[in-house]
Amino acid sequence: MKKSDLSHIFKSRIFGIFLAFLLLCAVIGITEYFIKDLPVFFKTANLMNILLQVSINAIMAVGMTFIIITAGIDLSVGSVLALCNVVLGITMLQFAPESGILQLGFGILAALIAGGGIGYLNGAVSVKWQIPPFIVTLGTLGVARGLGLWLIDSQTKNLIGQVTPAFSFIGNGVVLGIPFPVIIALLTIILGHIVLTYTLFGKHITAIGSNENAARLCGIRVGYNKIWVYILGGLLVAVAAVIQTSRLGSANPTIGQGFELYAIAAVIIGGTNLMGGEGSILGTLVGALIIGVLNNGLTLMNIPDEIKQIIIGLVIIFAVMIDRMRQKK
């Protein structure tokens, strides 16, 4: 590797974010060591637990990265996750557990259709009617949550013992010592990075976020690409919902509240520009890890949930302030 390449790596935003992540781990580990008799932060079991907790947010944040790069936003992901959870659950309950792959396949397909459908609605309404994505997704946040509550009569339905055992493996299985949801998240991140960095679609959405009018003049189908970005975001929320439903073992229309905050936070902390045109899937991964480590560390130190929310909110504001200062510089 050339000296100039190394210099570029050390000056990159991702490297700086990664250093911040390592510093956060060190601070939490040292603090826990001095205030607790039996520190567990750096134990293998706890690190795996962090990765497991991060996996769902990381999957949703990949889709959110594509959306924010186009200068959009999606406030509906938490409610869409709940809707996909309900659609998945009630679809699977229409089949006997003995049907196995049939029950699993139709359930996952239904969840993907629900997630992709809401994503299409977000993108199409925003593009066709030229309504800001903030307003559109704020509306579908209520629509998706209400649909989920209506479809299941505002009740929670237990799936344990009523669905194929293969479904439980998705959220609780382990492969070579690695939780299966972590493997799904890693594959999603790798594919997301490839699509964003090396494909024409990735280059087009970056161009759209940088300068939409210029992209249109260059022949890029702006509306078409924007709609597909929101569809992709909805599909990834559905994937996260499948994992979450498998872990919970139930269809619950109230889950996912506040998940949009964590997904957006991971993207912003990871260095994606809120104004669009710049972003990185790898940066989003580090952002999701920072949130996961922060959540885990504060929990280990018995910090109340309301204080945790305040701290994470301040971290988001701080990340945006740093991004603004960097752009002005």
**CATH number assigned to the domain comprising residue 197:** 1.10.3470
Contact at 8 Å (CB) between 149 and 257?
Answer: no
Instruction: Identify whether 23 is part of a domain.
Output: no
Instruction: Identify whether 43 is part of a domain.
Output: no
Q: Looking at the 3D structure of the chain, how many domains does it have?
A: 1
Q: Which structural domain range is residue 281 located in?
A: 51-301
Report the alpha-carbon distance of residue 280 to residue 285 in Å, rounded: 9
Contact at 8 Å (CB) between 286 and 18?
Answer: yes
Query: 262 exposed, middle or buried (CB, 10 Å; 0-12, 13-18, 19+)?
Result: buried
Q: For residue 50, what pLDDT is reported? A: 95
If one counts every other C-beta atom within 10 angstroms of the C-beta of residue 174, the result is: 13
Report the alpha-carbon distance of residue 234 to residue 26 in Å, rounded: 35
C-alpha distance from residue 184 to each of 18, 170, 228 (Å): 22, 9, 22
Element (H, E) at 175: strand 174-175
Instruction: Identify whether 274 is part of a domain.
Output: yes
Provide the residue type at 31 as one letter. T
Sign of torsion over alpha carbons 26, 32, 37, 43: negative
Instruction: Identify whether 121 is part of a domain.
Output: yes
Contact at 8 Å (CB) between 276 and 206?
Answer: no
231: which strand partners?
none
Q: For residue 142, what pLDDT is reported? A: 96
Q: Which of 225, 262, 269, 273 is nearest to 240 (CA)?
A: 262
Give yes or no for residue 15 having a pLDDT over 90. Answer: no
At 8, the pLDDT band (50, 70, 90 cuts) reads very low
Instruction: Identify whether 307 is part of a domain.
Output: no
Q: Give the HSE-up count for residue 299: Cα atoms under 13 Å, Cβ half-sphere.
A: 12
Give yes or no for residue 79 having a pLDDT over 80. Answer: yes
Give yes or no for residue 329 having a pLDDT over 70. Answer: no
Average pLDDT for the chain: 91
Calculate mean pLDDT across residues 211-225.
95
Q: How far apart are the first and last CA of the chain?
A: 29
Report the alpha-carbon distance of residue 70 to residue 72 in Å, rounded: 5
Give yes or no for residue 1 having a pLDDT over 50. Answer: no
Instruction: Identify whether 30 is part of a domain.
Output: no
Radius of gyration (C-alpha) of the chain in whole angstroms: 20
Calculate mean pLDDT across residues 317-325.
74
Give yes or no for residue 4 having a pLDDT over 60. Answer: no
178: which strand partners?
175
Element (H, E) at 251: strand 250-251
Give yes or no for residue 229 having a pLDDT over 70. Answer: yes
Instruction: Identify whether 201 is part of a domain.
Output: yes
Q: For residue 6, what pLDDT is reported? A: 40
Instruction: Identify whether 328 is part of a domain.
Output: no
Q: Show Cβ contacts of residue 176 under 8 Å, excluding neighbours closer than 6 positions.
A: none
Report the alpha-carbon distance of residue 212 to residue 207 in Å, rounded: 7
43 Cα distance to chain centroid? 25
Of 103-107, 218-222, 272-276, which range is least confident?
Answer: 272-276
Calculate mean pLDDT across residues 168-172.
95
The overall pTM is greater than 0.95: no
